Amino acid sequence: MGETGTAGVIFGLDPAWVATGLLVIIYVFIIAERLNRSIIALLGAGLMIVTGVLNQQQAIKGIDFNTIALLTGMMVLVSIARQSGMFEYLAIRSAKLGRAKPWLMMLILSATTAVLSACLDNVTTVLLIAPVTLAVTRQLGVPPYPFLFAEIMASNIGGTATLIGDPPNIIIGSATGLGFNAFILNVAPVIVLILAVQLVTTHLFWGRKMHAEPQARAAVMALDERAAITDRPLLIYSLIVIGGVLTSFVLAKTLDLEPGTIALFGAAVLMLLHNIEHHREIEKQHEKVTATFGEVDWITIFFFVGLFVVVHGLEVTGVLAYLSKELVRATGGDFALTTYVVLWSSAILSAIVDNIPYVATMIPLIKSMGADFGGPDKLMPLWWALSLGGCLGGNGSLIGASANLTVAGIAERNGIRFGFWAYTKYAFGLMLIHVAMANVYIWLRFLS
């Protein structure tokens, strides 16, 4: 179907079938949860090269280094900033705002996550929110998993609302010229409703059953959040650098910088400020830098490296393009049906494979339909369907979106089990409800 590795596929097998088979095997092992997911992904990536589906240059090309740099840079920033006590401060303030009631805390943190994800990007948001959540739940003595689950869902929902909130929207906007205001006007309205439904469902699943002991609540309400700040100069440095990084994310297009560059540069600046007092103590600097890098979730980083290579194998062999064409062909030229197929196929496939390559594959196919449906201006419902399906579909499984895996990595580093099936058995059904709401919205807003 497409260009494969220069040495040819092993035993002369069809490269598309080999790539698909490797993906299926990887998913089976991930779901079984018998091996660490980074090991599985890296083995899968290696097999894509060894079997000849990809050559080494293609494998490297398939790795999204911008995402890797963004994750690494933000993890370093969070690692240093937490040493100032800022997250404990935020946790106590949030708990007091919610009167130390777990169900209210879950709603507050979820809503905050959604809003921040719309203004920034969902990966950065969960990197900032997850440590706060862990601090809150430790103080209240309640299980952190429901909070983290709710925040994953909220991050992907909120990120769908704007041009900069989720990578698929950035790709769509860049390819079509749709700007920030276009996403706000056409996508954000239904996202507000979907978020409201999500907040209610997580409350029904977990929130209403969650109670903190009166002593724990009283102890939390009695805490002095100002006492949590243990390093005021570092707090000031952290706020300045993180503020600069977040501002740069918003102005990234004007600055002509990728988010990964901004995050890594910000991390380097904060590391410099964190170590400047030890400018004559090389050994002390070495200890602090080693400790900082030790806080990076390398399991998640290398899982992404492997997964990017595996998914690129599906791209290069034409599997994703073939599936996309068949899905569009099945509609028989009916515009409304085509729109619904784009929405649902984007959602379901984005829950199975990363939504970025799928969206990138669908864009030229949708553009090519302009002649059949009356010109590019008539394709707007298809673009909104692709955006809603691709972004919301990321909630459907643990590996559907970068934010999901980022939270899972933070949880596991703190001793909280965050398995594929435990997440997906709740998330996939909720994702289908959200996509159904988007379907009704598209019908009423654009097709009726």
Query: Which residue's structure tokens are 């910000």?
Result: 266
Confidence of residue 185 (pLDDT cuts 50, 70, 90): very high
Lowest average pLDDT, out of 96-105, 170-179, 181-190, 279-288, goes to: 170-179
Q: Residue 242, CB half-sphere, CA atoms under 13 Å: how many?
A: 21
Domain termination site, one of 261, 294, 327: 294
pLDDT of residue 78: 85
Instruction: Say which residue, 144 or 280, is predicted with more confidence.
Output: 144
Indicate the DSSP class of residue 447. I
Domain termination site, one of 237, 260, 294: 294
Confidence of residue 5 (pLDDT cuts 50, 70, 90): low
Same domain, 266 and 363: no
What sign for the dihedral angle of Cα 88, 93, 99, 101?
negative
| pLDDT digit string, tens, across residues 405-430 | 889 989 988 999 888 888 999 999 99
Residue 211 lies in a domain: yes
Same domain, 266 and 136: yes
Query: Which residue's structure tokens are 């654009």?
Result: 446
Same domain, 56 and 103: no
pLDDT of residue 332: 80
- Residue 397 burial (10 A CB sphere; 0-12, 13-18, 19+): buried
- Asked if residues 343 and 350 have their Cβ atoms less than 8 Å apart, the reply is no
Residue 161 lies in a domain: yes
- Model confidence at 167: pLDDT above 60: yes
Average pLDDT over residues 45-50: 95
Average pLDDT over residues 44-68: 92
Q: How far is CA 6 from the centre of its chain?
A: 33
Average pLDDT over residues 437-443: 98
> What is the spatial distance between Cα 218 and Cα 229, in angstroms, rounded to a whole number?
21
Residue type, 192: V
- Asked if residues 430 and 198 have their Cβ atoms less than 8 Å apart, the reply is yes
Query: Which residue's structure tokens are 């600046």?
Result: 269
- Asked if residues 177 and 168 have their Cβ atoms less than 8 Å apart, the reply is no
- Model confidence at 354: pLDDT above 80: no
Average pLDDT over residues 77-85: 88
| pLDDT digit string, tens, across residues 356-396 | 777 877 887 788 777 777 778 888 999 999 999 999 999 99
Same domain, 276 and 328: no
If we measure between CA atoms, which residue out of 21, 5, 359, 389 comes closest to residue 194? 389
- Asked if residues 266 and 244 have their Cβ atoms less than 8 Å apart, the reply is yes
Give the best-scoring range by mean pLDDT among 10-14, 109-113, 156-160.
156-160
Alpha helices in 141-213 (DSSP H): 145-159, 167-176, 180-186, 188-205
pLDDT of residue 40: 93
| pLDDT digit string, tens, across residues 273-331 | 999 887 778 888 999 999 999 988 898 889 889 988 988 898 889 887 887 777 777 88
> What is the spatial distance between Cα 310 and Cα 304, in angstroms, rounded to a whole number?
10
Same domain, 351 and 251: no
- Asked if residues 269 and 245 have their Cβ atoms less than 8 Å apart, the reply is no
Which residues span the domain enclosing 72? Answer: 66-165+181-294
pLDDT of residue 22: 93
User: Please, what is the angle between helix 298-316 and helix 319-329, to 10°?
Assistant: 60
Residue 441 lies in a domain: yes
Same domain, 98 and 201: yes
> What is the spatial distance between Cα 17 and Cα 2, in angstroms, rounded to a whole number?
12
Residue 171 lies in a domain: no
> What is the spatial distance between Cα 363 and Cα 367, in angstroms, rounded to a whole number?
6
Average pLDDT over residues 35-40: 90
Average pLDDT over residues 92-111: 87
Residue 313 lies in a domain: yes
Residue 1 lies in a domain: no
Same domain, 103 and 247: yes
Same domain, 376 and 254: no
Residue 244 lies in a domain: yes
pLDDT of residue 257: 86
Confidence of residue 445 (pLDDT cuts 50, 70, 90): very high
pLDDT of residue 279: 74
For the entire predicted model, the pTM comes to 0.76
The mean of the pLDDT values for the chain is 88
DSSP 254-281: HHT--HHHHHHHHHHHHHHHHHGGGTT-
Residue 5 lies in a domain: no
Q: For the chain, what is the domain count?
A: 2
SS3 of 130, please?
helix
- Model confidence at 1: pLDDT above 80: no
Residue 372 tokens read as 């059949």
Domain termination site, one of 294, 318, 339: 294
Average pLDDT over residues 441-446: 97
- Model confidence at 270: pLDDT above 80: yes
